[in-house]
A and B are shown apart, each in its own frame.
Chain A
Amino acid sequence: MPDPSLLILSSLAGGDKHGYAMMEDIERFAGIRLGPGTLYGAITRLETLGWIRPVGPTDRRQPYTITSDGRQYLRSQLANLGRVVRTGIRRLENA
């Protein structure tokens, strides 16, 4: 399973969301349903690292947004993943 942090950052790259909206979005684009404990474990970590921050105020459903540091981290991680994916596909085709 991909790192939940990457899934959350990818979800927030498409717009601010609260926890439940992230869960639904991630399930749609990755086919993975994050459990509530996993989701909030990753949210806690990402906020501590400064890669996401809460926006609002709204009701108890707290939305989050990705920060510029978060975008930079996501970009570098996706670039690495992209290289792995391209290499894997190329090697499979040549095998």
Chain B
Amino acid sequence: MKRAMKLLARLYPSSWRERYGAEFEALLEDTNPSAWDAIDVLWGALKMQLTGITISISGKTLKVAVVALGAILLLLGASFLSSTGLFHPKYQILMFVPEAEGLHVGAVVKLDGVPIGNVRTVEIADKSADANRSIELVLQIDKRFQNTIRGESSASLVRGGSRGDRYVSIQRAFSGPAIDHGGEVRALSVEQ
């Protein structure tokens, strides 16, 4: 336990260890440390890292520093969420296929290999007499890509991954009008 305590003591800021490190280690050698002491040292190191980079920091400066740290963390979090595309506007298009074995809700939708959305629903199509249109897929796609999915685009279910799951692959087109929200992308009957 004493060895573990010495390792924990290294978590204190180096400026603090320069000043107090030797006597702190001497104290740890004198005590018979318990698990609670280990938590106490860990907590002490954390507080010192947050507040004591310079030990002469004043209470008011500390509050400003904590608020600034919180704001930075918030910005980083928002930036991360933004980069995941969570806040980008989406639109939905339909696709009809004869079967959807191995295709799950949430499966990725790719445009020429680039992920642009997910499969929102996989359901038996209503009133479809055509065997090639017996399953209706709703694809939720990032609106930024709407202009690249046009009337001449085609889509297919592609098998990928070790478990044999399938995803939707859309081929980009440069002619025909962009498919609107609620429109349909043409499905290729042959699986790639």
Contact = CB atoms under 8 A, between A and B. Distances in A.
A23 B27 CA distance: 10
Contacts of B43: 37
A36 B26 contact: no
B interface, how many residues as a size bin?
20 to 34
Given A44-B55, A48-B56, A62-B23, A37 B45 contact: yes
Contacts of B39: 35
A interface, how many residues as a size bin?
10 to 19
- Interface secondary structure of A, over-half rule: helix
Interface string A23-50: 1000000000001111111011000100
Nearest to B34: A35
B58 to A, nearest CB: 10
Nearest to B16: A44
Given A35-B36, A40-B20, A20 B27 contact: yes
B44 A20 contact: no
A36 B37 contact: yes
B30 A20 contact: yes
A61 B30 CA distance: 10
Q: Which 8 A-B pairs have the closest CB atoms?
A: A37-B44, A35-B40, A60-B26, A20-B30, A19-B27, A37-B40, A62-B23, A37-B41
